[in-house]
Each structure stands twice: as C-alpha cells, then as structure tokens.
Amino acid sequence: EVILCTPASREGAVAPEILYAADLCGVDRIFAVGGAQAVAAMAYGTESIPRVDKIFGPGNRYVTRAKQLVAGDTVAVDLPAGPSEVLVLLDDDASPAFAAADLLSQAEHGGDSQAVLVCPSVEFARDTQRAVGEQLLQLRRGETIREALRQSRIVVLDSREKMIGFADAYAPEHLIISMRDAWDVAARIAAGSVFVGPWSPESAGDYASGTNHTLPTGGWARACSGVNTDAFLRKITYQELSRKGLAALSPTVIAMAEAEGLGAHAAAVRVRMKG
C-alpha cells in the first residue's frame, strides 16, 4: 500500500496536479497533511493515517530533522534532503545571464536555500551579479529569493583544479557545469545530480528530463544517492548448497569462523561433513 501526505491549500484543497500525478502512479490513499507532523504520523500511525515501513520525499530543515529522528526508532527513510542548494561551476566562456537564472531558480525554493557560483574571474562574478539583479525584478518570489541570496556566495578561484576541488568538497545537491571538457570535470565531483553544458538548467531535472528530484543535501552527496527505483525495492539473498558444494566451501568457512573465535559456526559445517 502506498500513501501520500501533502499539504492542503488555505482553502483545504489538495492541488489538482498532485491528485492527478498520484492517480497516475497508483497511490492508494492521500492525506492532506505535510511537514514534520506528516513524518510523525507516517512513522507512528494515527487514527486515520497508517504506520508505514519507509518514508520518501523531499523536505525542508524541519522535515529532514523529523525523518532523522524517526529513522532511529520505527521506520526507514530515504535520505537526508534538507534545504535546497545548487553550485554553478563556470569558466569565462559561459553566459552570466544563464548563471544568474540558475542561481535564482534554486534560491526561490526557500529562504534557507543556498546558491553558489564558482568562477575564474572577478569580472565574470560582477557580470553575473548584475544579471541577478536585473532578472530578480521580473520574479514574483522576490522576498524569498533575497533571503536565500543573503546566505549564497560567489567564489572566485584562479585555477581549474581549485574550482573542481572546491565543488567536490561542497558536494552539492545540484551541480551545473558549463566549462570546457565538462564531462571530465563532472567525473571528478561528488554531487546529487549533475547538469552538463549550457542547455541543461536544473529546472529540467526537476520537471522533465527524467532524473529524480529527491537528492542529498548538506554534503551528504559524498555518501548518499538520490531517490531512485532501487530505493523502493527490498533485496533478499537466497542460497541452497549441495553436500558437494558445502564440502568445497567448508575449509573457508571453518578457517574464518575459527579466526573470529566462533566455534559453533565452524561446528555447524563439521557436523554436516561427518554426517
């Protein structure tokens, strides 16, 4: 059984786009509740919301913290997915207007989002700053974006190697690369999802290019993958040995069991070989 928790509007209605997508994906039941309280409801169960085995989905700092708390108690979770972030990695041949658009598209997620530009020159940094200011005037979520931009950064580094090293240490949720030999650069950086070339905006991955959109944040891309088909599967291993097969493995099993000081493990093989 698959259930979906999603916040309702001020009028108490769930967005029709979400209802349609849920029906398309075979969701069994929908509950109009979101945030940390939805995580708690799914982890422990309520009179109306059933307890689940695993919780999936993006979130903010509160949802992420709630998932981390219940993960050590009663339920499995997908990964740490907190405030959104993007790192845009460019050389001087790239477009400042494109860079600005990518930074702004991530900043509008929330006031605690972070957008980082890494570039090789102060001139490019200033051109991008100007483009950010111009494009911001055309956007509706200006207040949210300005809050996010206050904690965002432009980093100027004087060599390609330093730029790659910085990006890999940051391990961003979204990484946009518009540089010469961009695929070679991409192979050297840990990230949740990578967008290569000038025609690959992060919003394409959010909505249409087919990659997942629930990704590790806060440096977790160094250890975690984003949500994918594998995350929804449970893997069980099975084995059946013949007497001949066990005889072939028995020296290895006995040697390793005795090295670990687990004599009963070794005896479970010996008794069969005697029998």
Q: Which residues are catalytic?
A: 173-174
The secondary structure of the chain in percent helix, strand, coil, rounded to multiples of 5, reads: 45, 15, 45
For the chain, give the DSSP string.
--EEE----TTS---HHHHHHHHHTT--EEES--HHHHHHHHHH--SSSPP-SEE-----HHHHHHHHHHHTTT-EE-----S-EEEEEE-TTS-HHHHHHHHHHHHTT-TT-EEEEEES-HHHHHHHHHHHHHHHTT-TTHHHHHHHHTT-EEEE-SSHHHHHHHHHHH--SEEEEESTTHHHHHTT---SEEEESTT--HHHHHHTSS--S----TTGGGT-PPP-GGGG----------HHHHHHHHHHHHHHHHHTT-HHHHHHHHHHHH-
